[in-house]
Structure 1
Amino acid sequence: MDLLLVAGLWLDPSVWDDVVAGLAARGHRGIAVALPGQGDGRTDATLDDQRQAVLDAVDAADRPVVVGHSAAASLAWLAADARPSAVRATVLVGGFPSADGAAYADFFPLVEGAMPFPGWAAFEGPDSADLDEAARDALAARAIPVPGAVAQGVVRLADERRYDVPVVLVCPEFSPDDARAWVASGDVPELARARDVTYVDLPTGHWPMVSAPQVLVAALADVADGL
């Protein structure tokens, strides 16, 4: 099965290399999606550019599973909205889809038109507890400032058939019970309306493709095997 792997903020497609290899060993094709502004040198990329890159990958694949990490959960959801009959399922790793009209990822201040990695103080605790100092240094060194027109882009959703696309919420730094409570309380309105949501516990931090790629591979392959 084809699994499109969409990285979250600051990361280029190479962050998925170990996951792609692991999925191949399980008989699946992992395809790391190259997002404009994340590794190609572009500083003028927009959220629409990134959305189109994911849709192009969907159109080139065979009813893929779209895996969105962190903020890119919204990109996976945008793909389900635009291609509800072509996306087999969405897998959201450590992230939740933004609602229509919300900013994509306006989390930190822009510096010269882009949102740089803010440093590890912003991610102390469960997010980064499984990363040692060397891993933190390496991840920070590869971080690419997110173009402002991506971070501050507005999510637009239009097709309610997205709610029929199965969703698997992979819960790394939070528990499935935490996630269910957030959905039930109205904090995640898009998932509250989704008709088929499965919660998967993943005992890692926020970047499992870096800290525990084979654990993530097992979770993703199990999802694919069950579809």
Structure 2
Amino acid sequence: MTTITSSQPIVLIAGHWLGAWAWDEVLEHLKTDNSRAVAVTLPGLDKDDPERASKTLDDQAAAVLDTLARLGTSEEQPAMIVAHSGANAPVSLVLDRHPELVQQVVWVDSGPVSTGSVFAPDLPEEVDELPLPSLEDLAKQASLEGLSAEVLERFRARAVPEPGPVLRQPVELRNDARRKVRTTLVCCSIPGAQVLELANSGHPMFVEVATLEHLDVIDLPTGHWPMWSRPRDLAKVIQTASSRAD
């Protein structure tokens, strides 16, 4: 039995266009609970990296594993990973390659991908990177509920274009042990009951959810970016999940 305490590392990874800064408000609330939480900027999303547009999903997965190593994560002392939105592809690779290092994964308005998944299969090879769309177009893709004009402006100002190779690379998964890792789905823009219904019906976006062996579903109604619209509540969900014993 692995008992999770506040000293367990919690690694937070935001989705497309976002760096570690996206978790600032959540981290403030987690710090009051004495959690060992760190946020990660994935390769390709550091605006100061001159080679960032060439980064791949493999680079991103390797960076997450490097972070786990720096935190002293091991099979005896596994970590929790909190993954939002498009972080699901590199985190799925991490779970596939080293499931023993992850005691639990919390998907924030997200979920595990299945093998062969490609985020943007039709993105032309000559496209090096994909900038954040206009807010009007973004709202057609994901819910902006709960985000103030100030937050949306910060999002626009700080967003970094997503590398083309990350969006075109197929996710190759081979290790069924990834499905044994305890999983919490934090459902924000789509209710949990609907996510489970879609998973059980074989919807390609959610089909992997139906294969998970240890699954908790928590509804946190808001838009697709709860780290900004409900940071305190999201921190409570993360802290509660980290306190569970497996």
TM-score bracket relative to the smaller structure: over 0.9
> Aligned partners of 1:75, 1:222: CA distance in 2, in Å?
24
Q: Which residue of 2 aligns with 1:28?
A: 35
Q: Shift of residue 24 of structure 1? A: 1.7
> Aligned partners of 1:86, 1:123: CA distance in 2, in Å?
34
> Aligned partners of 2:227, 2:84: CA distance in 1, in Å?
9
Alignment of 1:128-167 (within 5 A): 128-167=144-183
SS in 2 for 1:66: strand
Unmatched segments (≥5 aa) in structure 1 = none
Question: TM-score, with normalisation over the residues of structure 1?
Answer: 0.92
Q: Which residue of 2 aligns with 1:66?
A: 81
Q: Shift of residue 108 of structure 1? A: 8.5
> Aligned partners of 1:3, 1:108: CA distance in 2, in Å?
34
Partner deviation per Cα, 1:95-138 (whole Å, 9 max, x = no partner): 122211111x3289578410111122234377102112222121
Q: Which residue of 1 aligns with 2:96?
A: 81
> Aligned partners of 1:112, 1:71: CA distance in 2, in Å?
19
Which structure carries more relative contact order (alpha carbon 8 Å, separation 6+)?
A: 2
Structure 2 counterpart of 1:50, one-letter code: Q
Name segments (4+ residues, structure 1) moved above 6 Å.
none
Which entry has the higher C-alpha Rg, 1 or 2? Answer: 2
SS in 1 for 2:106: strand
Range with bigger deviation, 211-220 or 3-12: 211-220
> Aligned partners of 1:121, 1:7: CA distance in 2, in Å?
21
> Aligned partners of 2:106, 2:134: CA distance in 1, in Å?
27
Q: Is residue 122 from structure 1 mapped to residue 129 from structure 2 by the alignment?
A: no
Residues 3 and 28, structure 1, Cα contact 8 Å, conserved in 2: yes
Structure 1 counterpart of 2:208, one-letter code: E
Q: Which residue of 1 aligns with 2:236?
A: 218
Q: 1:108 and 1:224, CA in 2 relative to 1: closer, same or farther beyond 3 A?
A: farther
Q: Is residue 5 from structure 1 mapped to residue 1 from structure 2 by the alignment?
A: no
Identity of aligned residues (%): 31
Question: TM-score, with normalisation over the residues of structure 2?
Answer: 0.86
Given candidates 113, 120, 126, the residue that maps to 1:106 is: 120
Q: 1:54 and 1:220, CA in 2 relative to 1: closer, same or farther beyond 3 A?
A: same
Unmatched segments (≥5 aa) in structure 2 = 1-7
Structure 1 counterpart of 2:176, one-letter code: E
Q: 1:136 and 1:80, CA in 2 relative to 1: closer, same or farther beyond 3 A?
A: same
CA RMSD of aligned residues (A): 1.9
Residues 94 and 170, structure 1, Cα contact 8 Å, conserved in 2: yes
Residues 171 and 201, structure 1, Cα contact 8 Å, conserved in 2: yes
Q: Is residue 206 from structure 1 mapped to residue 216 from structure 2 by the alignment?
A: no
